[in-house]
Chains A and B, each alone.
Chain A
Amino acid sequence: MKPVKMKPVEMKPVKMKPVRAHTRKRRLPSLPESTAQTLETVAELWSEGRRQKLPLYLFLALCFNLVLAPIVYAAADGELSQTQSWALGVLGLSVIALSVYLFCVMFAPEKFS
């Protein structure tokens, strides 16, 4: 009986990438310490942002909601305040995201073990 190889879970723990940060630091030796640190952080965030897709999607969803919320507000015919429309838009998008997630589980359940 061969054990079936499962793909590792797609969740990546948040890890720093010291190597890249280090090279940045060497290229900018003359800058004051605080600026170098800031740049380091930015570099980290950038590299992190390229691996972690979730924050990006969240950001895009919130941007999309800026378009969605006024539509909800208009459709509600004055029954909803602007905040409520915005919240409702986020909720609707979350439901759609949840639905997409459930489809992923349905078609690739191995990834979620």
Chain B
Amino acid sequence: MQSHPASDASLREPQGSRDSRRQPPKVNLSGLYQRAVKEAFVKLDPRLVVSNPVMFVVWLGTLVTLLVTINPNLFGTLQADTNQQRLLNGIITLILFFTVLFANFAEAVAEGRGKAQADSLRATRSDTIARKVLPNGSTQEVISTELRRGDQVKVVAGDMIPADGEVVQGVASVDESAITGESAPVLKQPGTDISSSVTGGTRLLSDELLLRITQDPGQGFIDRMIALVEGAKRTKTPNEIALTVLLAVLTQVFLIVVATVPPIAGYIASFVTEILGSEAGNSLRTGSSIAILISLLVALIPTTIGGLLSAIGIAGMDRVAQFNVIATSGRAVEACGDVNTLVLDKTGTITLGNRLADEFISTNGNSIQEVANICLAASIFDETPEGRSIVQLAEGLGAKVSFDSKTAEGVEFSARTRMSGTNVAEQEFRKGAVDAIKSFVRSRGGQVSETVDQAYERVSRLGGTPLAVCKGNEIYGVIYLKDIVKSGLRERFDQLRRMGVKTIMLTGDNSITASVIAEEAGVDDFIAEATPEDKIDVIRREQAEGNLVAMTGDGTNDAPALAQANVGVAMNSGTQAAKEAANMVDLDSDPTKLIDLVTIGKQLLITRGALTTFSIANDIAKYFAIIPTIFAAAGIGALNIMGLKSAQSAIVSALIYNALIIPALIPLALQGVKFRPLTADQLLQRNILIYGVGGIIAPFVAIKLIDLVLPISF
């Protein structure tokens, strides 16, 4: 039963907690902030700002306040000290300018981190000398960038692999730590789906390989990863677009609100002048001067989320990258949060990749010793971990082979026969799936006793995989191959369930075995005796019910399913076809990571929602700071519940708060809101309390404090 790439799996079995396992490539973050500051100024280019409606309004506002700083009476003569007006307008201009700058800075920092990540990947990209194999068999040294798809190259121990390719010949171990951070070397050999593909930039540790290049230069896997991480191809995700619409609508609403203030205030001012005298009227007119109206507009439009929206998106991609997963688009990361069905392969994801022989069960009344002898005989050529564990168990029972192994010949496992074994002279030792062995025995004229079925059932009930062993036409016994469920999975599936994510396990095992493993691992549903076609059927069925499905896969026959799934995560060890079809690639080839991806996706959405709510909730305080103070002459001073010193001080305080909240929230935007595996209702309650109620209260406190500290008195 060479069911899985044993060599590969045994070398990189995820063990221990994720944190101890994960060693992401070293990312050079020094100078990040200096570069971000520079970048923030570059991003002041109006052609760039125009893509962000909220910041574009602030940017234009800054321009206008700059004009009224130069000439305070540009749009109408104000009955106030021109120098004071100029000073106030200058301060407002400065704060507005910094608001735009802070927003640019947030985006630049997020991008800078992505770039740093890309640089560390690019470091592996240095041009190397490759030995190109010419059609006549001789080799020629060329620069790796000159290699084209289809070329063959020879790589020897110590060499850097020049480009993405497929192993044609040879067996060797490769250090992929440059891209995966995993220090354990990986075995590469031709023919198999999984372990035959190599990635450019990784280093060969031993032996030599003949490779066929599968990607043109600049098209390689790492090149595409670099482009994505850098954000070169970043487009807004559906959620971001919907949010942009809301922000544009809110900006439009407040633009109308503010633009209609002058006639209204003017009307009131002429009335107030009549009953209270010209001083009150002038105070109202000054209160609705252009600079103050622009301040009001900027304070009311959702600058906080407007300034941080793109940073949140970039940081989401970046967080995924830190998990050593490369997403092909922000859309894919976002979809992770929406996933409500995970389709998981049993082997390698839920259970450890390799099953180990746990027990021999005799049938037909054979002694255990005899069974052990046959098992040993059938397995001596089996190099898979399962085979070796059978040999180990048999030798532990004192089994011995009754023939010289040099005279024997191994029979390879094949998907068609579903068995492997040993031929010695006329004797045939076989082991394999029970029904396969049964038909083998029958074809040799033997009988199958009921005890075989009993043993089969027993093993299945224990959640193990039964393998029958036979010698010639007689079944001697059944091997109990035990599946080991990864530790800690049950808790994670529980968390997922609480978050509303259903897990479906796919396995080639029979349904009894599958149900036992499913029970042990705590998955919600399972598909037994599954074929690759079943995978895509399950995904289609779930999607028809309205679910978003995520799955992992590595083989070429997984590719259609990976393409069909809403989130398809290919293992880096997988074939090129699988990687092409997927929208994410896990560099660690750890299928369990799908669960983390769901968390990251949710975190991304929560962060966006939280900052939007916070930003909108802030408006109450800003309204209460600005409106009563600038229109105090209309007799609504009592609404100034914060007791702010003056209209000027209130405006400046509100704007300072408005500007400073952006850098203050950059860490939150970049790291994301801490995610807890709670139900939707609990999450809403928690986040509404923090970001909704907090968003109402925080600016009241902050604006009051700034007002107290400010030395402004006009």
Contact = CB atoms under 8 A, between A and B. Distances in A.
A adjacent to B, CB under 8 Å: yes
Interface in A85-113: 87-88, 91, 94-95, 98-99, 101-103, 105-106, 109-110, 112-113
Interface string B575-605: 0000000010000000000000000000000
Given A91-B64, A103-B252, A105-B53, A113 B236 contact: yes
Contacts of B221: none
Residue of A84, A88, A102 with highest tally of chain B CB at under 10 A? A102
Nearest to B238: A4
Contact of B566 (A1, A3, A110): A1
Contacts of A98: 57, 60, 255
B290 A102 contact: no
Interface string A1-30: 101101001010100000000000000000
Nearest to A5: B235
Contacts of B249: 106
B446 to A, nearest CB: 52
Contacts of B259: 95
Contacts of B566: 1
Interface residues of A, number: 28
Contacts of A4: 235, 331
Secondary structure call for the B interface: helix
Contact of B245 (A13, A80, A81, A105): A105
Interface string B206-248: 0000000000000000000000000000111000110011001
A112 B50 contact: yes
Contacts of B67: 87
B290 A91 contact: yes
A8 B245 CA distance: 18
Interface string B49-83: 01111001100100010010000011111000000
Given A95-B259, A106-B248, A110-B236, A11 B74 contact: no
Contact of A102 (B64, B240, B252): B252
B248 A6 contact: no
Interface string B328-345: 110110010000000000
Contacts of A9: 51
Given A99-B252, A112-B244, A87 B331 contact: no
B198 to A, nearest CB: 26
Nearest to B68: A87
18 contacts: A1-B329, A1-B332, A1-B335, A1-B567, A1-B583, A6-B235, A88-B75, A94-B60, A95-B259, A98-B60, A99-B252, A102-B53, A102-B57, A102-B255, A103-B252, A105-B248, A112-B50, A113-B235
Interface of A: 1, 3-4, 6, 9, 11, 13, 79-81, 83-84, 87-88, 91, 94-95, 98-99, 101-103, 105-106, 109-110, 112-113
Interface of B: 47, 50-53, 56-57, 60, 64, 67, 73-77, 234-236, 240-241, 244-245, 248-249, 251-252, 255-256, 259, 290, 328-329, 331-332, 335, 563, 565-568, 583
